[in-house]
């Protein structure tokens, strides 16, 4: 199976359970939920300790791309295990893996798409890179820096502020568009449209 025929694996990073659902650290789950909704699918439990939806991006038929959207159920800092198990199960080349995650060094709501690179202290990326190497795609969703002296761990595990929540739906929608563009049009075209 050539890479062109291989499925894509889109991994939204977050922490499982209702206590974390609205946290900044869970934007990856929010984007994954929207992508699943767009594909008309429902998440199902997978033996890889993840929730998955299988479907297609793009037009129906052969020009659409097979995609597995996943939410690891292992907690953020152990995301590499489920991601690797899903890669093996679905036979996905590392270059067809997209991690969607929160990013402190980008302003709230801004997006950056890239291939490879460091983990910038993000425990979910650190875990995936340890398991797979660094050459997977990232859709980095800006959450900005914590105010004052608030510790980073407290900031990412807090819900978005009420002001941020007003625009959150728009930003999540745009991030989902960026993921689809990356899969269907390639990194450079998606970057030129969505990198802000």
Catalytic residues: 25
* Burial classification of residue 126, based on how many CB atoms lie within 10 Å of its CB (0-12 exposed, 13-18 middle, 19 or more buried): middle
With 0-12 / 13-18 / 19 or more C-beta atoms within 10 angstroms meaning exposed / middle / buried, residue 195 is middle
CB neighbour class for 182 (10 Å; exposed up to 12, middle 13-18, buried from 19):
buried
Which of 156, 106, 116 shows the shortest CA–CA distance to 138?
116
Closest of 153, 145, 119 to residue 20, by C-alpha: 153
Could you tell me which of 183, 193, 186 has the C-alpha nearest to residue 38? 183
């Amino acid at each position: 199976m050539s890479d062109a025929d291989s499925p894509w694996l889109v991994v939204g990073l977050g922490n499982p359970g209702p206590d974390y659902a609205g946290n900044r650290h869970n934007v990856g789950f929010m984007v994954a939920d929207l992508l699943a909704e767009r594909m008309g699918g429902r998440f199902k439990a997978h033996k890889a300790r993840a929730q998955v939806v299988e479907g297609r991006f793009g037009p129906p038929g052969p020009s659409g791309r097979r995609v597995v959207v996943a939410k690891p159920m292992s907690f953020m800092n152990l995301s590499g295990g489920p991601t690797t198990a899903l890669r093996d199960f679905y036979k996905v080349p590392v270059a067809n893996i997209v991690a969607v995650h929160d990013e402190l060094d980008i302003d709230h709501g801004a997006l950056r798409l890239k291939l490879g690179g460091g983990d910038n202290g993000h425990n979910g990326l650190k875990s995936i890179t340890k398991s797979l190497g660094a050459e997977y795609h990232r859709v980095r969703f800006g959450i900005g820096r914590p105010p004052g002296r608030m510790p980073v761990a407290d900031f990412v595990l807090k819900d978005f502020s009420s002001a941020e929540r007003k625009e959150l739906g728009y930003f999540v929608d745009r991030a989902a568009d960026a993921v689809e563009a990356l899969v269907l049009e390639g990194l450079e075209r998606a970057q030129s449209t969505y990198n802000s």
